[in-house]
Chains A and B, each alone.
Chain A
Amino acid sequence: MENKKHIIGKLFTSTFSLSAFTLGGGYVIIPMMKKRFVDDLKWIHEEEMLNLIAIAQSSPGAVAVNAAILLGYRVAGILGALITILGTVLPPFITISVISVFYTAFRDNTAVNAVLKGMQAGVAAVIANTVFDLVSNVLKKKEIVPVIIMGGSFIAAYILKINVIYIILVCGCIGAAKTLIQMKKVQKKDGASQ
């Protein structure tokens, strides 16, 4: 086993460079993490990595941060987790800090303002495209409950202006209740067939 200082250093530089050079959020950084830690460094097996990713995606928060916590803990305990959190968070923290210092001056500049306005249309289009894909994925499954949940939460947020947190809580409970009912049904079936 390599000595601990070396491992900690490697953990930090790996997560830092992954976080600094990966544009496009969680779905891009996860495959990059897999490549670095499974294929290059060979610190964990592919199957275990997939398990860690499943947990990271099931937890609230940013997927990249969650995956970093799990990886760091798995490789070097609590200290490892702290190091990987720092490595993942520092690049965006530094970049945005620098940008926000210049933001006000930036915003009043006519040229910057024009570019930002152009970008706004691009961002709106990217979001519209994402929403379109997400909605059609839900519709494709042809199940009634998810469609009702989707429409209901949209109306609740956009038209009724209900606090997003309550909507999430209610829908989470609906999901849990549905699973519990399904589990009961399966148990009953098993019981009846025995």
Chain B
Amino acid sequence: MTLLKLFWSFFQIGIFSIGGGMAALPLIQNQVVNLNHWLSLTEFTDLITIAEMTPGPIAINSATFVGIRIAGIMGAVFATIGFIFPSCIIVSLLALIYFKFKDLTIVQGILEGLRPAIVGLIASAGLSIIILAIWEENGFTIKPQEINWISGLLFSAVIFTLKKWKPNPFYMILGSGIIGGAIYLMT
């Protein structure tokens, strides 16, 4: 039963994550944190951190991580297959349409409508991760004593560096792990 549930949840993520990269983020959060309570928001943020530091698409990383934690290695297999399954079918269909008619106009139209929506959804998922990082589990407040200042400063420093020098995000996450880790251990 759990295996089928994992398959079905990641099947839905697979069908609806359009636009690559972070587009899957809000869907994974929706299924894994909000609907099924498989991970807490903190664990989910850990998962994103791990996914950013390791190779492979974020959704495959999530399927493996969640699957193993819920139902062992078989859980990971079912969740991963669930995610890939819709891709196989839809990619083949689109390839067929494309090579027959050399035209994806209506598909492109749907994507045009979706792109800004995905941006809004990524912003929504991102905001909850940002709030968790800076305000921790208490959620957003304006009281300065509830802010994690170390995290807030690291956050601002990384944004500044990314905007100014556009380095590979991988090194920025690694760097904030080392610097932040050192500061936390000293205080």
List the interface of chain A (C-beta within 8 A of B): 19-27, 51, 54-66, 69-70, 73, 81, 85, 88-89, 91-93, 95-97, 99-101, 103, 107, 110-111, 113-131, 134-135, 137-138, 146-147, 149-158, 161, 163-165, 167-168, 171-176, 178-180, 182-183
Contacts and interface: CB of A to CB of B under 8 A. Distances in A.
Interface string B59-70: 111001100110
B116 A150 contact: yes
Q: Which secondary structure characterizes the binding site on chain A?
A: helix
B94 A58 contact: yes
Given A92-B54, A92-B60, A127-B126, A120 B121 contact: no
A164 B49 contact: no
B64 A180 contact: no
B109 A176 contact: yes
Contacts of A92: 54-57, 60-61, 64
Interface string B85-124: 0111011101100100000111111111111111111111
A141 to B, nearest CB: 9
B18 A96 contact: no
A131 B123 contact: yes
Contacts of B150: 118, 121
A171 B114 CA distance: 6
Contact of B122 (A110, A131, A175): A131
Interface residues of B, number: 109
B140 to A, nearest CB: 12
B111 to A, nearest CB: 6
Contacts of B24: 62
Interface in B154-187: 154-159, 162-163, 168-170, 172-185
A121 B25 CA distance: 17
A95 B86 CA distance: 24
Contact of B21 (A26, A114, A125): A26
The residue in A96, A111, A161 that gathers the most chain B C-beta atoms within 10 A of its C-beta is A96
Contacts of A173: 113
A21 B55 CA distance: 7
B55 A93 contact: no
Contact of A168 (B16, B22, B169, B183): B16
A167 B125 CA distance: 14
Given A96-B65, A120-B49, A179-B105, A24 B170 contact: yes
Contacts of B120: 149-157, 167
Contact of A25 (B18, B57, B88, B118): B57
Contacts of A171: 113-114, 116-117
B130 interface: yes
A128 B183 contact: no
A168 B117 contact: yes
Given A21-B55, A96-B54, A135-B119, A121 B184 contact: no
A55 B108 CA distance: 10
Contacts of B86: 60-61
Contact of B158 (A56, A62, A122, A165): A122
The 10 nearest A-B residue pairs measured at CB: A175-B113, A118-B180, A92-B56, A179-B109, A122-B176, A61-B87, A62-B57, A153-B120, A115-B181, A125-B158
A38 B119 CA distance: 32
Given A135-B123, A180-B109, A66 B91 contact: yes
A96 B64 contact: yes
